[in-house]
Structure 1
C-alpha cells in the first residue's frame, strides 16, 4: 500500500478531516510546537484537519483560531476552536484575526501560528513557487503581529529560488529557523515547512552596537544592562560602567553582549 493511501485511510479511520493532519502531528513531534493551554492561529484551515490536531494538543484550556476564505464546518468535539472566514491576502482579514485574539490591545497573546496555505496550482512551477512564497509571507505578517515572545511559526512553502530569501527574512525575527519535510507529504510534492522557533520581541538584534549602563552584576559575574526593559548580560564590566557594547546572541527574554572594540 502506498504512503498516500495509508495516511488517507488512517485519517478516515481516526476521524480526521484530511490526511494533512498527520503532517502537523509530525511537525509537532519534530519541533515541539504545542502545549496545553496554548493559543494557536491556523491559517488556511479548511477543511479542518489541522484544527483538530491543534485542538487536541492545546486541550480545553487552550484556544485555536482557524482562518480560511472557505467555509469550515464547526468542530463539534472541540469547544476551544473559533473560526474566521476571510481572505488572508486582504488586510481586513488580518485585522480581524488580530482583533479576535486580542492583539489589537497591544498584547501578544498567541503562542503558535501555523499555515498549510497553498496556491491554486497552474502547472507553471516557477509561478506556483512564487505564489506559495507570497502566501508564506502573509502568514509571516500575521505571526509578526500576534506572536508572544518565544512563540513559534510553522508555514508551508514550495521549494525554489525564492526560498532562501524568505527563510532569511523570517529568521531575523526568530531565534532560529529549520526546514522540515514531514513523512506524510506526498513523495512527488516539493512542499516543505519552515519552522521558526522562539519569536524575538527584543529591541536589539545580533550585531547591533548600543550604549548601555551596567546597573547590576549577575550571579555568573556578568554585568546587567537594560535596553528598553530588555536584559543584556555584558562580560568583562563593572557595575556603574557606561560603555558601547556589541550585541551577540539574542534570546526571547534576554541577550548577551561584549564591550565594543
Structure 2
C-alpha cells in the first residue's frame, strides 16, 4: 500500500475529512503547537481536516476559526469535530472585510496559533508553482502578524525552491526562530514543506539597541529589571534605583536581556 493510500484510508476510518489532517498532527508532534485552550486560526481551511485536528487538540477551553474563499461544510454529529468551538468564515483573507471578521472572532487577546495549508492551483510549471506558493505563504504570514498574540506560533506551507530561504529569513525576523518541517504524511512526489515559526516577537526593542534605562526591580536570579514601554529587560549586575546604559543582546516575546555598558 502506498503512503497516499495509507493516509487516505486512515482518514476515512478515523473520521477526518482529508488525509492532510495527519500533516498537522505530525507537525504538532514535532513543534508542540497545542497544549490545550488555545485560540487557533486556520487559513484556507476547506474542507476542514485541519479544523478537526485543531479542535481536538485545543479542547473544550479552546477556540478554532477557519477561513476560506470556498464554503466549509458544517460538521455533522458523527464527525470528530462536531463542536461549537469551530467557527467558519467564508471570504478572502486578503480582503479587509474578511480580516475584520477574523479579528472579531479571535478577540482582543489575539490568536495563539495561525496555520495555513494553502496551495496554488497547479500549472505543472515548477518555478511558477513555487512562486505562487511563496506568494500565498507571504499572504498568510502578513495575516498572522495582524492576528497573533505575543509568543504566538505560525505554520505555513510552501514549495521548495529558490525563494524559500528569503521567505524563511523574513519570517524569522518576526519570531524567536523558524524551522522547516516535512511531515511524513506529505505525498512522496510533493515538494511541499512547512515553515514553523515559534514565538511571535512584539518587543519594542531589537538586538543591538543601546538604551538608557532605570532599574526598577530585582528578578529572582538577582538581575536588575528595567521596563521599556511595558516590556521587561533583565540587566545583570544592575541594582534597583540605578540608571544605566545597556545594549540589548537577546529578545523574547515577553522579555529580553541586556548587558550593562560602562563607558
d(CA) in 2 for partners of 1:209, 1:168: 24
d(CA) in 2 for partners of 1:17, 1:216: 53
d(CA) in 1 for partners of 2:182, 2:88: 28
Structure 2 length-normalised TM: 0.93
1:85 aligns with 2:90: yes
Structure 1 length-normalised TM: 0.94
Report the equivalent of 1:99.
Answer: 104
Taking structure 1 as reference, are residues 143 and 108 closer, same or farther at Cα in structure 2, changes over 3 Å only? farther
Shift of 1:253: 1.5
1:179-232: per-residue Cα shift (whole Å, max 9, x none)?
100000011111000111111221112222222111223232211111001110
How many residues end up aligned between the 2 structures? 257
Report the equivalent of 1:184.
Answer: 185
Shift of 1:64: 0.6
Taking structure 1 as reference, are residues 108 and 137 closer, same or farther at Cα in structure 2, changes over 3 Å only? farther
d(CA) in 2 for partners of 1:118, 1:94: 20
| 4+ long deviations beyond 4 Å | none
Report the equivalent of 1:135.
Answer: 136
d(CA) in 1 for partners of 2:91, 2:146: 17
d(CA) in 2 for partners of 1:171, 1:108: 23
Q: 1:108 touches 1:149 (CA, 8 Å); kept in 2? A: no
d(CA) in 1 for partners of 2:181, 2:208: 28
Q: CA RMSD in A?
A: 1.4
1:41 aligns with 2:12: no
Q: 2:116 touches 2:155 (CA, 8 Å); kept in 1? A: yes
d(CA) in 1 for partners of 2:208, 2:2: 49
1:74 aligns with 2:80: no
Counterparts of residues 142-161 of structure 1 (less than 5 Å):
142-161=143-162
Taking structure 1 as reference, are residues 89 and 131 closer, same or farther at Cα in structure 2, changes over 3 Å only? farther
Report the equivalent of 2:201.
Answer: 200
d(CA) in 1 for partners of 2:11, 2:251: 41
Report the equivalent of 2:239.
Answer: 238
Q: Which 5+ residue runs of structure 1 have no aligned equivalent?
A: none
d(CA) in 1 for partners of 2:259, 2:184: 43
d(CA) in 2 for partners of 1:256, 1:58: 32
1:2 aligns with 2:7: no
Q: 1:60 touches 1:79 (CA, 8 Å); kept in 2? A: no
Shift of 1:120: 0.7
Q: Which 5+ residue runs of structure 2 have no aligned equivalent?
A: 77-81
Deviates more, 1:175-184 or 1:138-147: 138-147
Report the equivalent of 1:224.
Answer: 225
